[in-house]
Each structure stands twice: as structure tokens, then as C-alpha cells.
């Protein structure tokens, strides 16, 4: 028998309608044989599975039953078995077609893929966190767990250190669908104003207050608002820590100590208005230029989470760390919602569960990292001091800082915030 050159495709509706070929006889009998094999493998074929002959190919529709594998359930689905005849005249026997059909169906049933016609689910995840940060380490662990649970069907690729662009660039890419997932702070975007509400100064006295709000109704409110603009946000945030003030001349113990202080801040109005209201001279400077700016006294102070102060060695050009804890910040994990909804439901469950586990582990890591940072920075000769934050809150309240931001964020969000942290 002549060598058979063929292709059997599942769900290949996009295959060419016309494939030039020479056929010496219609293999309807062979298709009938294949249908009998399909009955044994998959149950009754769809609509008696009448074969349809086209130019250059013969196809038939069948039903593939539901299947549970690797913790993922694949729903039943219809597919098309298509035999494409190419180049050589084909004399195909009943046995040959049955073998081809059985092989195609067996391959489909053995596959852990959640969609018969779809290839492996590949997702790209971008973040500005460096590779050594818990916000990367734990996400990489999650990607491995996701691959294991899905038997390799889901491939979550993690790109740290802004490899895919700056945070604003990656955010734009996710909105447009060019990037699947990313993590960033709500303050690093301008699409959803209320996402910055976690950065209201001195709002969260402790981590218990943070997680009660951000894992609860306030966080749900923020996540829903993002969904309204086409972004799915995972239920658990990553911790980026409380921000504390470092200075070169004197420690900060009361609001008056900030008068006239040239302090570097991110280019965000929450930070700028906060320090202006407290009498300082806030100066937006790119983080990459901060070390040199402190070293040359372009600014005399800055504010960041302890872990970042340590990893960036800012303590080398500062003498004091005042534990003001004036702003808590964290990273939301975003996904383009169109992309998210296109992923099968069971796969979404696996991804969500593993990213939730990663976030909870990352929070514990950051807490331990901050405790270690205090020890390490003290060992370098830097002085630490605790701060009573009540006078700072009172100064801000009297100056109308909180009422202004209440108007910006809206009464509903503000009431949810105060429900968890008390009146501001």
C-alpha cells in the first residue's frame, strides 16, 4: 500500500477549506469504521456523526466526554475529526482509518489541556520587584505549583526587575491585552483613583487593620472598580511594607521636625500633599537617582519601606530612621479580564488558589525581612527611633488633608476605610 500522508486534527475548524489532492475512491467505508471506534472511545457520536466529504478531506463531528485529570475537570465538548489527503493518491482501509481515529481521540483524552482545541495556557507575569524580593520568589513558587497541579497545562512565566517595562508601561500593556498579568501598587496608575486609598497617611495603625480592610470590604470595592475598567484583580494583595522616614541631619519625632525638610517623594499627589501639609519641601525624584541625591544633599531625607532602604543601601547616606509608618503600600495582582475569562474555569481556580497562597507567604516573608532589616541597618551605625503618630494625624486633620481625600475617593470608599481603621 502506498505510504499515507495525513493529518488528523481535533477542533481544526480553521483548516483550509480546499486542499488540492487526487483521490481514487471515496473512503466512506473507512469513515464508518472510524465512527465505530469513536463509539467505543467516546460514546455516541454527535447527530449520528454523518461524514461530510469536501475537496481534499473527509470530516466528521464527534463528542468527547467530560474528563477529570490532575485536579482539573475538562467539560465534555464536540470536536471535528478531519482527514486531509495530500500529495499521493490514497487508498485507505477501514483498519487504517480506525487506527488513526483511535489515536487522535486517545491523545485528546490523555491531554491535561482544559480545552481540546487550545494549546497549553501560557501566561506572562511582569513585576518591578527584583528577583530576590519575596514578591518574585513566591510567585515563581506559585507558577511551579500551578504547572504541577495542571500536569503542565498552565505555564506561568515570571519576569522580575521591570524586564517587560516600567510599572506604568506594564499596566498599560495589561489593559491592552499585550501582557497577561502584573503586580503593582494602586498608586502607580491613574485609571482607578480609589485604588490609592490604601496610601492615605497614618490610616492603618497595624497590619491587623491593613488586612482587615484590604482583604475585606474596602479591598472588594477597589477590585470591583478595577473590574469595571476591564481588569481582574486577585483577592489577596502582596505586601510592600510600611514606609518610614530617613534623614541625615536629625531624627523625626514630631510634625515640627519636618518643617522645611527637603524630602524625596514619589511623583504622586498623595505623597506631595501629605508632606506639604506637614510643612516639608517634598521633591519628586526617580528612585534610581535617589542614592546620589541623598549623597549630594539635593534632598536631606526620603521615605521607603525598611526592606527597600536596606536592599538599596540608602542607610549608607543617612543617619536616622524614624519609624513613622506613615503609609502602608502593597501590590495588587492584575490580569486583563478578557484574557482571564478566556481561561477555563477550573484553570482559573488553580491559578487563583496558588497566587493566594503565594501572597499569604509573601506577607510573612516581608514581615521577617523588615525585622532583619532593622538589625542589619542598626549594625551599620544608623539610629532608629519610634514615633507617636497621633500628633501627625491631628495636624493633617486640622489642615483638611483627610476631608480633601475623602472627596477624591468618594464617600462610599471612605466609609469602608473608616469602618476598619476608625475616624480619620
pTM (two decimals): 0.71
Overall average pLDDT of the 355-376 stretch: 96
The string of DSSP codes covering 159-194 is: E-TTTT--HHHHHHHHHHTSSSEEEEEGGG-SS-GG
Count the residues in the chain.
Answer: 424
Q: Give Cβ neighbours of residue 422 (< 8 Å, ≥ 6 apart).
A: none
Distance CA 357, CA 351 (A): 10
The reported pLDDT for the residue numbered 267 is 83
Helix spans in 195-268 (H): 207-214, 217-227
First to last CA, the chain: 86
Measured torsion, CA atoms of residues 251, 282, 161, 239, in degrees rounded to the nearest 10: 60
> Cell 506572562 sits at which residue?
124
Residue 2: count of CB within 10 angstroms of its CB: 10
What is the per-residue pLDDT across 146-194, written as a single tens digit (0 to 9) for each? 999 999 999 999 999 889 998 889 999 999 999 999 999 998 888 999 9
pLDDT bin (cut points 50, 70, 90) of residue 307 is confident
Tell whether the model's pLDDT for residue 298 goes beyond 50.
Answer: yes
- List, for residues 310-350, the tens digit of each pLDDT value: 988 999 999 999 999 999 999 999 999 999 999 999 999 99
Fold designation for 121-246+255-421: D-Maltodextrin-Binding Protein; domain 2 (3.40.190)
Mean pLDDT of all residues belonging to the chain: 81
Q: Sketch the domain layout of the chain as residue ranges.
A: 8-110, 121-246+255-421
Tens of pLDDT, residues 34-81: 445 444 444 444 444 444 444 444 445 544 555 444 454 445 444 545
pLDDT digits (tens, 9 = 90+) for 231-275: 999 999 999 999 999 999 999 999 999 999 999 998 889 999 999
Q: Say yes or no to pLDDT of 113 above 70.
A: no
| pLDDT, position 66 | 52
Beta bridge partners, 84, equal 57
Count of Cβ atoms closer than 10 Å to residue 170 Cβ: 27
Residue with cell 499569604: 360
Amino acid at each position: 500500500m502506498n505510504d499515507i500522508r495525513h493529518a488528523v486534527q481535533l477542533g481544526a475548524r480553521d483548516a483550509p477549506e480546499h486542499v488540492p489532492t487526487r483521490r481514487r475512491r471515496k473512503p466512506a467505508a473507512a469513515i464508518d469504521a472510524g465512527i465505530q471506534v469513536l463509539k467505543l472511545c467516546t460514546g455516541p457520536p454527535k447527530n449520528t456523526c454523518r461524514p461530510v466529504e469536501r475537496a481534499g478531506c473527509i470530516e466528521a463531528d464527534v463528542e468527547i466526554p467530560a474528563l477529570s485529570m490532575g485536579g482539573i475537570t475538562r467539560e465534555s465538548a464536540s470536536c471535528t475529526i478531519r482527514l486531509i489527503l495530500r500529495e499521493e493518491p490514497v487508498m485507505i482501509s477501514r483498519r487504517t482509518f480506525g487506527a488513526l481515529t483511535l489515536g487522535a481521540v486517545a491523545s485528546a483524552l490523555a491531554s491535561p489541556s482544559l480545552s481540546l482545541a487550545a494549546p497549553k495556557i501560557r501566561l506572562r507575569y511582569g513585576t518591578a520587584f527584583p528577583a530576590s524580593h519575596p514578591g518574585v520568589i513566591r510567585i515563581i513558587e506559585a507558577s511551579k505549583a500551578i504547572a504541577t497541579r495542571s500536569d503542565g497545562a498552565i505555564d506561568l512565566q515570571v519576569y522580575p526587575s521591570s524586564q517587560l517595562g516600567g510599572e506604568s508601561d506594564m499596566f498599560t500593556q495589561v489593559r491592552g491585552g499585550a501582557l497577561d498579568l502584573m503586580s503593582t501598587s494602586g498608586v502607580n496608575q491613574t485609571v482607578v483613583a480609589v485604588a490609592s486609598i490604601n496610601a492615605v497617611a497614618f490610616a492603618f495603625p497595624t497590619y491587623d487593620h491593613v488586612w482587615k480592610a484590604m482583604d475585606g470590604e474596602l479591598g472588594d470595592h477597589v477590585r470591583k472598580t478595577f473590574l469595571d475598567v476591564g481588569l481582574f484583580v486577585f483577592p489577596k494583595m502582596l505586601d510592600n511594607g510600611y514606609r518610614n522616614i530617613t534623614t541625615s541631619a536629625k531624627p523625626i519625632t514630631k510634625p515640627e521636625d519636618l518643617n522645611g525638610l527637603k524630602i524625596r517623594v514619589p511623583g504622586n499627589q498623595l505623597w506631595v500633599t501629605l508632606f506639604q501639609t506637614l510643612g516639608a519641601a517634598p521633591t519628586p525624584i526617580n528612585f534610581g537617582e535617589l542614592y546620589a541625591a541623598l549623597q549630594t544633599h539635593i534632598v536631606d531625607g526620603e521615605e521607603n519601606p525598611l526592606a527597600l532602604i536596606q536592599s538599596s543601601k540608602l542607610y549608607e547616606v543617612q543617619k536616622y530612621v524614624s519609624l513613622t509608618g506613615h503609609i502602608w503600600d502593597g501590590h495588587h495582582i492584575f490580569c486583563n479580564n478578557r484574557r482571564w475569562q478566556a481561561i477555563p474555569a477550573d484553570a482559573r481556580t488553580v491559578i487563583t488558589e496558588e497566587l493566594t497562597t503565594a501572597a499569604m507567604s509573601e506577607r510573612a516573608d516581608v514581615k521577617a525581612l523588615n525585622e532583619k532589616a532593622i538589625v542589619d541597618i542598626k549594625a551599620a551605625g544608623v539610629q532608629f527611633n519610634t514615633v507617636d503618630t497621633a500628633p501627625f494625624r491631628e495636624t493633617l486633620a486640622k489642615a483638611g488633608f483627610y476631608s480633601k481625600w475623602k472627596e477624591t475617593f468618594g464617600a462610599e470608599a471612605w466609609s469602608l476605610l473608616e469602618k476598619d481603621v476608625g475616624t480619620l
